[in-house]
Amino acid sequence: MDRPMGSSYDGPQTVSTCPSVTDMKKGPCLAIAVSTLLLGGMSHAQDARLEALRQRCEAAREAMIAPLREQAIRDCVSRPRSTQTRAQCEAFYRDFGQGGGTVGGGFRAPMFIDLPECQEYFAEQDWQNQQNNRRSRR
């Protein structure tokens, strides 16, 4: 490439602390590569554990909520002067026990989040959040 006289600019340069795979065996490059792999693997394992705990919590909650939901559906269908079909009542109560907003703008907590399975899930979730916050501040 022709350059104007007196110009020593070679274009954009990339600086690499680990220019090749063979150099990764040296000090800081190896430490960076290994820690990246380990933290990524731990994160995936923690995510899998948290998901398993969440599923256990949901299954335990559903076991407690299902009979109550069924009773609410039966009551809906059997009310005097009710014009609702079973399908309509099932659709109305499909999220029974899940919590959420109320008509008045309040909040209704989900049912049975105090079960031991759910408390274990929440504790693990809090612990992981604290660990992630510590890592991000470094």
**pLDDT confidence bin for 101, thresholds 50/70/90:** confident
pLDDT at 113 over 70: yes
Express each pLDDT in 20-30 by its tens digit: 555 445 555 55
Domain that holds residue 76: 28-96+113-126
Residue 67, pLDDT score: 97
Residue 80, domain member (yes or no)? yes
Write out the H or E segment, with its range, that includes residue 126. helix 116-137
**pLDDT confidence bin for 133, thresholds 50/70/90:** confident
Mean pLDDT of the 118-128 span: 94
Task: Give me the residues paired with residue 100 across strands.
Answer: 108
Write out the H or E segment, with its range, that includes residue 17. none
Instruction: Tell me the whole-structure pTM to 2 decimals.
Output: 0.61
How many independent structural domains does the chain possess? 1
Residue 133, domain member (yes or no)? no
